[in-house]
Each structure stands twice: as C-alpha cells, then as structure tokens.
Structure 1
Amino acid sequence: MFGTYVAVLKTPGAARFSAAAFLGRAQMSMVGLGAVLLLQAERGSYAIAGAVSAIYAISMAVISPQAARLIDIFGQRRVLRIQIALHVPAMAALIALAMSPAPTWVLYVLAFFTGGVQPNLGALVRARWSAKLTGSGKLRTAFAWESMLDEVIFIAGPPLATFLVIAVFPSAAMILATVILAIGTWWFASLKESEPKAIGRGAQHARRRPAIALPGVAAIALIYVFVGSIFGSFEVTTVAFAGQHGHMGVAGLLLATNSLGSLVGGLVFGALKLRASLLRQFLFMLALLGIVVFPLPFLRSIWLLAIGALVAGVAVAPVLISGISLVERIVPASRLTESMSWPTAGLAVGLAISSPIAGVIVDGNPASVAYWVTAGCAIAAAVTAFLQVTPLYRANAAAARTAKGTAAGTQVAASARSAG
C-alpha cells in the first residue's frame, strides 16, 4: 500500500512542493478553532466566535476563485507573495483587536479582509500534481496523498491549538498558525521549477466565462457546500460538547479523532485501484458519509462521541479525494486552479453557514442538539449529489470524449512523423 505513495513522491520536485504546501496549510486546523477559543475566552460567546469564523470563510469563498483566476493568468509565485504580504499583518490586527475592547463589527470587517487574502495552498499543490501527472494513473494517488496530509494536519492541529490556548495564552494558537502559514507559503512560492505554466493575459482569456460555469463544476461546488457545513457545525458543536461536559481540554482530541478516521479512510481509498468511475466513487462515498454521520446527535458521553467521531471520519477523505479528482477529470488544464478553487469555496460557504447556526444552538441548548445540523448536512450532501447525477454524468462523458479525441490525434500525429 505504502509503495504506491512512495512511487508518486519520487516524481521530480514533488516531495519539496508537497512538503512546502503541507507546512503552509498546517495552520488551517488551528486558525478556526483558535479563533473560536480566543473569542469565547475574550468575549464569552460562541455566537460571536462562530460569526467571525463564518465571515472569514465567506470572504475566502467569494475571493479565492478570483485569486485562482489571477494565478492561472500570472502564475502562482506572483499572486502568492502579494497574498501573504497582505494576510499576515491583517491577521495580526485581528488577533490584537480580539483581545481589546474594540467593537464587534471591527472584528467582522477584519475577518472579511483577512479571509479574502488567505492563500489557498490546497488547490495550488493539487494543480502542481496535475501538471506533473495528468494522463497517468498516479494522479488520484497524489490527490489522496494530499488529502491524507490534510488529515494529519487536522489530527495534530486541534489538540495543539487547545493546548496553546489553555496552557500558554488565548491567542497563542492563532499566532503560531500565522507564522507557519507565512513560512510555508513563501517556501512553496519559491519552488519555481515545479510551478505550472501561466497562461498569460490574452484577450481570449479575459473574455472567458468563470470556471463555475463549466459543466459539472457548479454541481460539485454545491455538494461541497453541504460537506463544508458538516465540518463547520461539527467543530463548533464538539468544542461546546466538551465544555458542557467539563472536559474542554479534550475538545481538540475529539476533533483529532474524527480526522484520524478520515486519515485511515483516505489511506485505504487512495491505494485501491478501483474499476468504478470517479462519479460512482463520489456518489458511493457521499452515501456512506450520510450513514456514518447520522448517529452523532444520539451520543451523550465523551467516550461515545470519540468513537462516533472516529467512525464519522472514515468517509470524509474519500469524498474529498473523489470529488476533486472528478473536477480535475472534467475541466481543461488551463482552468484547473480556478476550477479546483470552487469546491474549496463551497466548503468555506458551508462552514460559514453552519458555524454560527451551531453556535447559536449550543449557546442555549445541550450541544448534542446541534449535531442534528451536522447529520442533516451529511444527508443533504448525498441527496444533492444524486439529484445532480445527470449534469455530472454529462460532464464526465464529455471529458472522456475529449480525452479520447486528444489521444487519437496524438497517435495520428506520431504516425505521420514516423512515416515522414
């Protein structure tokens, strides 16, 4: 099983850009939880904490695809350096004002700006893999590798963030998250040899429609809205559940348990050589996700929740792997970065919607009640996918015809050269 991943990492330059992206996005499991814990400690409200997280996520969802479009035109290096130069001071200001008597609306404004200039290294590293491995059978494994790294981040990050907030000081988690984001992003941007070629600012490029309008992309982005809602509601509810049961210190461990289940699921899924189409894999995993998440509202103890979180995580990474692999399959290479950013934006929108809803619910009710939001969103993701089967099937079939035609054209050209 592990030999499959070792073979992928032997791709020239891959180990370095994967490591840099891993470091740069290691903050993603700390900044949200760190913000919730910081604002709850300083402002005493899960609702405010959820609202700040939601605004941050909405801003990412709105602006990230536009930044990705610029990256397709000008290249990763140029855009990333601008983003990091804006993001770091904005995050520093957000942290400082969260600990001050500043009005809440100021936090909301800063959260919107900071989220808007957040680098999306997850989409960018997958674009580099695609540039290296498109047309080979290794690309799905490479995407699985990156999803497993995401899960390692979500296993280690929440306990570390919780420890830093409780044992050091309330803003420690967000400070560390910002530092590692800056270092990793700068390193990633400096690896120019593996950067996908920028298309350039041509008239045809400027007039083209957004990637969300490409066949199948909107359907997958919509499904990811519900998947993101699972993440957002689960995080806020789990933190509140641990606090209400007198074990706030284990909140990060509970979140890590969920990620551990996802890591195991992703490890197995990525190593398998499945005959089913990517679309069928995506649909099956979404159905499984709905089944394993549904029991969460019925769990009433920390130990039962730990088991439930572990089981609920098993289908998460396979859903994300199959979904992003399907996007890579159905869109042109010249639109890949922007296209991949739309599912990420969908996740952010879902997180933005569900976090404050869960926050309001747990402020006045047993936390387990808010797990109904999580379970409902898991079921909605599966139902939405099956309702979108037709456009997804058509997009997949069209991509297969295009790939077949391209391969045939290449073979004819090669034969002509040989004959000449």
Structure 2
Amino acid sequence: MRHAALALDTGTQGLLYIVGPLLVATLASSYSPAVALAVTAALGLAGTAAVALAPPSRRWRPERFEGQDANQAHQLAIPAVLLLFVSLTGIGFAIGAMNVWSIALAEHHHQDMLSGIIPATFSTGSFVGGLIYGRRTWSSTTTRRLIISTAAFLAGWLPLLTRPGSRPPPRLPCPVRS
C-alpha cells in the first residue's frame, strides 16, 4: 500500500507540475499576471482545504517508537543519506535555474507561453521517467540505480550546451512605406 500511495502521490504531483505552468502562462498571457496569481492561489487554497479536511487527514496521528528521537538524528548522518541530500540540492539548483531561464527566454523571444511550456515539458519528462522507473523491476542495487538515474538526468541537460536562445532572433526585412 505504501508503494502504491507514493506512486499515486508522485504521479499527481507530476501532473500538477505539467498543468500548473501551462495554466499560469495561459492566464497571464490571456488576461494578466494578477489573474494568474489569483486563480492559482484559489486553487492552492482549495487543494489544501480538501486534503486537510479529508477524513484520513483528520484521523491520522503519528506513531511513537521508544528511543525514536535519538535514533533519527543518527540515521540522517549516514554517508549515503548525506550524499543523497547533496545530490538533491544540485538537482534542485538545476530545476530552479531552468525555471528562471525559461522566463528569460520567453522575454527574449517575446513569447510569454515559453515560460509555461518549458517547465511543463520538463515535468512531462519527469512524469514519464517516474512511470518507467516505477514500472520496471530492478535487479541492481540502490546505489547503482541512483548513479544511472543521475547520469540520465545530467545527459538530459547536455543539449543546453548548444546554448539555444543565446543568438538574437533573425530580423525580418521590413517593407518600406512611401
């Protein structure tokens, strides 16, 4: 049940990260950034209320285990967990930079929708990758899977070395009016 719940959670988050940027870019382009902010704030509040007021959320209480507090701090100091935290920090930096880059690219090319399409495309790849990863039966160790996943993540960024968007858009000849 835990594996299914985590897969459902990851999948729904992936869908939100696909639909969300597209919704914001569409609303901001069609109406205004203020409308996009108001709609997303209302949707965020509605989603939070739905989860917080759901019967499972109201019934849930944390389990307490004897000696739990002292043991948790020690578990976070395991070298593999520290390596995971460092890796995730780097991944978070890359994702955050990509979001800022997509806005700059949209402004540079005067295409507001790029600020939503680029993160949504990134999230679509993440969603599909999560589906593939979750459906596959793994015979390798967790460390090997982490290394393979990290290598695939890094390889996905290689096309950016071509520096798309670094060249100004071509100028079209302007007809001369008399």
Deviations 1:190-218 (A, max 9, x none): 33446654135x99556666477342333
The question of 1:238 aligning with 2:109 is answered no
Residue in structure 2 matching 1:185, options 48, 53, 61: 48
Aligned residues: 166
2:126 corresponds to which of 235, 253, 262: 262
Contact 1:212 1:218 in 2 (8 A): no
- Of structures 1 and 2, the one scoring higher in RCO (CA 8 A, sep 6+) is 2
TM-score norm. by structure 1 comes to 0.35
- Cα distance, 1:275 vs. partner? 1.3
Q: Secondary structure at the match of 2:164?
A: coil
1:206–1:267 distance in 2 versus 1, CA, 3 Å: closer
Equivalent of residue 36 in structure 2, options 152, 173, 189 = 173
Residue deviations 1:68-111 (CA, integer Å, cap 9, x gap): xxxxxxxxxxxxxxxxxxxxxxxxxxxxxxxxxxxxxxxxxxxx
Residue 150 of structure 1 corresponds to: 13
Does the 8 Å CA contact 1:211/1:217 hold for their aligned counterparts? no
Cα distance between partner residues in 1 of 2:136 and 2:41: 36
Asked whether the equivalents of residues 239 and 251 of structure 1 are also in contact (C-alpha less than 8 Å), the reply is yes
Does the alignment pair 1:272 with 2:144?
A: no
Runs of 4+ in 1 over 4 A off after TM superposition: 202-209
Rounded to whole Å, the distance in 2 between the matches of 1:285 and 1:163 is: 32
> Which residue in the other structure is 2:116 paired with?
252
Q: 1:269 to 1:209 in 2, by over 3 A?
A: closer
Query: Residue deviations 1:315-366, cap 9 Å, x none?
Result: xxxxxxxxxxxxxxxxxxxxxxxxxxxxxxxxxxxxxxxxxxxxxxxxxxx4
Structure 1: runs of 5 or more not aligned: 1-131, 134-138, 302-365, 369-420
Structure 2 unaligned segments of length 5 or more: list them: 169-178
Q: Is the 8 A contact 1:159 1:250 kept in 2?
A: no
**How far is 1:224 from its partner?**
0.5
Q: Does the 8 Å contact 2:29/2:112 carry over to 1?
A: no
- Whichever residue aligns with residue 242 of structure 1, its letter is A
What is the aligned-residue RMSD (CA, Å)? Answer: 2.9
Query: Separation in 2 of the partners of 1:282 and 1:146?
Result: 20
What whole-Å deviation, never above 9, does each CA across 1:247-291 have from its counterpart, x for those lacking one?
Answer: 123321122112222222222221111211222211111011111
Pick which of 235-244 and 207-216 moved more. Answer: 207-216
Alpha-carbon distance between aligned partners in 2 of 1:166 and 1:211, rounded to the nearest angstrom: 50
Q: TM-score, normalised by structure 2?
A: 0.76
2:93 counterpart of 1:229:
yes
Cα distance change, pair 203–174 in 1 and its aligned pair in 2 (3 A):
farther
Give the conservation status (yes or no) of the 8 Å contact 1:145–1:270.
no
Q: Which amino acid aligns with 1:256?
A: A
What CA distance in whole angstroms lies between the structure 1 residues aligned with 2:108 and 2:162? 16
